[in-house]
Amino acid sequence: MKSQEELLALVEQAIVANAWKREPAGLYEPIEYVLSLGGKRIRPCLTLMACNLFTEDLSDALKAALALEVFHNFTLLHDDIMDKAETRRGYATVHKRWNENTAILSGDAMLIEAYRLLDKLETPRFREVLGVFNTTADEVCKGQQYDMEFEKRMDVTLDEYMEMIRLKTAVLLAGSLKIGAIIGGASDVQAKALYDFGINMGLAFQLQDDYLDAFGDPKFFGKAIGGDILCGKKCFLMLSAYELAKGVEREKLENLMALDSKTCANEKISGVIELYRSIEIDKRCQERVNHYTAKASECLKKLGLPEEKLEPLSLFAGSLSKRRK
Amino acid sequence: MKSQEELLALVEQAIVANAWKREPAGLYEPIEYVLSLGGKRIRPCLTLMACNLFTEDLSDALKAALALEVFHNFTLLHDDIMDKAETRRGYATVHKRWNENTAILSGDAMLIEAYRLLDKLETPRFREVLGVFNTTADEVCKGQQYDMEFEKRMDVTLDEYMEMIRLKTAVLLAGSLKIGAIIGGASDVQAKALYDFGINMGLAFQLQDDYLDAFGDPKFFGKAIGGDILCGKKCFLMLSAYELAKGVEREKLENLMALDSKTCANEKISGVIELYRSIEIDKRCQERVNHYTAKASECLKKLGLPEEKLEPLSLFAGSLSKRRK
């Protein structure tokens, strides 16, 4: 079994080796750019780790891993247009560095490239892999649609939010694992267990993201604290606060959220965070992260594999839910 | 063998039956909308016609035909954003009726849906079909990129233009035919012959499009005459004119193209059309249309099939190159 570092190195090599220096440069340079910005490479690593549970032959899994990373970066390219994001991983987004048309078309080319990479697979279970990929890709689009719709709705429930992050974030982690498992030769039960592991890990991952935005340590957290509060994002913390704050606290929350995000930014952020703490939203969020992390661990047990084989995935899930950035 | 009308009816039924009333409605309603606007359904009909040359069983071909029509409409959705087009087939474009974000995301969902439809195929030659689809989709993106780049370039050659329309328009007709052929059980030689038929038909189709924009009969042509002239599009007519006009004529062309398209629209259009006629650009364009139509016919002969089987495709190609709208 390969170490986490070895798998990550394989992914980075594969990205470089896929030769993006193609014509027309105007179409492919933005693709090379966005893929070179790094990121945690979580999805391709999960594909390789899942496959590696069952076999040492990772050649097919590496192609699928690359397809999943290209797909993930395609969603970033298009989401960044929709969200009008100006930076990504500290660099200008494609639609800012080039323009919107380039970001649309290079994104389209990336989605097609993901399928071209998948089509290099030699596994006899190719159709299973393609089915998982298709379902996952469709669900990720649905998740982004719900996310956009939630911005304009004032009645989003916590359940709706959990379903949205399941679609937008968790299914791609789960699909990456399941695809690796299928390629590696997993049984249907094992492939499902890894998928469920991914869903729970993905939910924990996103909730931790929400948590860090308000309660992260600025020393480690890459972005400014309170971004979600300023833009009124209906994240887990905010939706929980609206569900739990009653009477005076509810009034306080509404007054804080009515503050102007430009002129009263600090007052708004510190006030909301204080309120979160007073009604223990921080604790509630960490409990949920722990809950989904524990559920993820249970899924791993269903694989029927020796404990030491599961350690890398366990550690990986733990590191995502305990991360500080 | 089924008639043209029967095949078109199959396509229209398949589009309706694919049940676009899915959740979230904000994602799928625009897809239903754009697919309901009609259009000639050229690509799915070609897939069915190609398949029908070899078999009466069109069930798999119909799924692929639908995938190709969905893919084509995906490109329209995104191209219309990039071109800032306000209407399509007489109706508001998706980004105008909804907004750009919707057009981006619903377009993405359509591209994924095209692959989901393809994945319903049961043919043992599925991987061949997927390969053709992937290559074609990638080339269509490249074609759109060149088209956008040409808008900003003043040194586009006719050869470059022909390569651009091959990528942007012809390969999808060719791919639609080849996919139908493969599903129907064609040999490699036959599949290639149908592909080449599609390329030549596609080039003739696009050149006829260019021709009609200046020389179409307003009674039949759906749009206003001279649109390409007003926006300075580097179409076959314009590029030929720049290649052929010398001395006084060249000067006249440049003066005409320098006229303001808003305040001097009629003068500009009639002047350029007159110049086109004086240096016989109209004739040259029709010669090229006939040339590619004839080459397309030759490709059909390589199929080694009885003449009467080829008639529908021959007529179809003829109708596209002789069309008045």
Neighbour tally for A244: CB within 10 Å: 15
Q: What is the pLDDT of residue B220?
A: 85
What is the average pLDDT across A148-172?
96
Q: Is the pLDDT of residue A323 over 90?
A: no
Average pLDDT rounded to a whole number, residues A96-115: 98
Sign of torsion over alpha carbons B238, B244, B245, B247: positive
What is the signed CA dihedral for A291, A295, A301, A306, rounded to 10 degrees? -50
Q: Residue B91 pairs with which residues in a beta bridge?
A: B88
User: What would the pLDDT profile of B176-193 be if each residue is shown by its tens digit?
Assistant: 999 999 999 999 999 999
Which one of B101, B134, B145 has the shortest CB-CB distance to A112? B134
Residue B222 has pLDDT above 80, yes or no: no
| pLDDT score, position B223 | 79
Least-confidence region, from A15-24, A113-122, B43-52, B297-306: A15-24
pLDDT value at position B311? 95
Give the tens place of pLDDT for each residue, B169-180.
Answer: 999 999 999 999
Q: What is the DSSP string of B62-94?
A: HHHHHHHHHHHHHHHHHHHHHTT--EETTEE-H
CB contact under 8 A, B78 and A105: yes
Say if residue A223's pLDDT is above 90: no
In this prediction the pTM is 0.96
Helix (H) or strand (E) holding A68: helix A59-82
In which region does residue B185 sit, left (phi positive, over 0), alpha (psi from -120 to 50) or beta (all else)?
left
A20 pLDDT above the threshold of 80: no
DSSP per-residue string spanning A41-61: -HHHHHHHHHHHTT-S--HHH
A134 vs B: CB within 8 A: yes
Contacts of A100 in chain B (CB under 8 A): 81, 100
CB contact under 8 A, A115 and B134: yes
Partner B contacted by A142 (CB < 8 A): yes
Q: Give me the pLDDT at residue A145, please.
A: 98
CA angle B24, B103, B38 (to 5 degrees): 90
Residue count (chain B): 325
Residue B185 corresponds to which amino acid?
Answer: G
- Its ipTM equals 0.96
Task: Determine the Cα–Cα distance for residues B143 and B172; give it in Å rounded to an integer.
Answer: 11
- SS3 state at A223: coil
- Per-residue model confidence (pLDDT) at position B38: 85
Which residue does chain B place closest to A81, by CA atoms? B101
Mean pLDDT of chain A: 96
What is the three-class DSSP state of A309? helix
Q: pLDDT at position A325, please?
A: 77
Residues near A99 by Cβ (< 8 Å), separated by ≥ 6? Answer: none
A116 touches chain B (CB under 8 A): yes
State the virtual CA torsion across B309, B310, B311, B315 in degrees, nearest 10. Answer: 150
pLDDT at residue A240 in the model: 97
Using a CB-CB distance cutoff of 8 angstroms, which residues of chain B are in contact with residue A126? 127
> For chain B, how big is the Rg over CA atoms in Å?
20
**CB nearest to B119's CB, from A26, A130, A144:** A130
B83: confidence class by pLDDT, cuts 50, 70, 90: very high
Q: Beta strands B87-88 and A91-92: pairing type? A: unpaired
Which of A128, A145, A167 to mutate to test binding with chain B, by most B CBs within 10 Å of its CB? A145
Residue of B nearest to A114 (CA): B134
What is the least distance, in Å, from the CA of A315 to any CA of chain B? 33
pLDDT, position B320: 83
pLDDT in tens, A166-196: 999 999 999 999 999 999 999 999 999 999 9
Between CA A198 and CA A215 the distance in angstroms is 25
Nearest CA-CA partner of B178 in B231, B125, B141, B102: B125
Q: Shortest CB distance from A116 goes to which of B111, B126, B134?
A: B134
Classify residue A220 as exposed, middle or buried by CB count within 10 Å of its CB (0-12, 13-18, 19+).
Answer: exposed
Per CB-CB distance under 8 Å, the chain A contacts of B131 are 119
* Cα distance between residue B29 and residue B35, in whole Å: 10
Kindly state the average pLDDT of the residues A112-136: 98
Q: Which residue in B84, B94, B108, B110 has the most chain A C-beta atoms within 10 A of its own C-beta, making it the best mutation to test that interface?
A: B108
pLDDT exceeding 90 applies to what percent of chain A? 92
Q: Which two tokens stand for residue B270?
A: 């009639």
Interchain contact A80–B (C-beta under 8 A):
no
pLDDT, position A219: 86
Count of other CB atoms within 10 angstroms of residue A200? 25
Interchain pair A104, B82: CB under 8 A? yes
Q: Min CA distance, A64 vs chain B (Å)?
A: 16
Mean pLDDT computed over A246-260: 96
Select from A93, A105, A127, A171 the residue whose CB has the most chain B CBs within 10 Å, as the one to mutate to test that interface. A105
| Contact across the interface for A142 and B116, Cβ inside 8 Å | no
Nearest chain A CA: its distance from B253 CA (Å): 30
Check CB contact under 8 Å for B24 and A149.
Answer: yes
Which 3 state secondary structure label does DSSP give A87? strand
In tens, the pLDDT along A57-101 reads 999 999 999 999 999 999 999 999 999 999 999 899 999 999 999
pLDDT of residue B156: 97
Whether A289 has a pLDDT exceeding 90, the answer reads yes
How would you classify residue B302: left for phi > 0, otherwise alpha for psi between -120 and 50, otherwise beta? alpha
Verify whether the Cβ–Cβ distance B112 to A137 is below 8 Å: yes
Q: For the segment B108-132, what is each residue's pLDDT rounded down to a tens digit?
A: 999 999 999 999 999 999 999 999 9
Asked if the model's pLDDT at residue B218 lies above 90, the reply is no
Q: How many other C-beta atoms are found inside a 10 Å radius of the C-beta of residue A13?
A: 11
Task: Give the model's confidence band at A143: pLDDT under 50 very low, under 70 low, under 90 confident, else very high.
Answer: very high
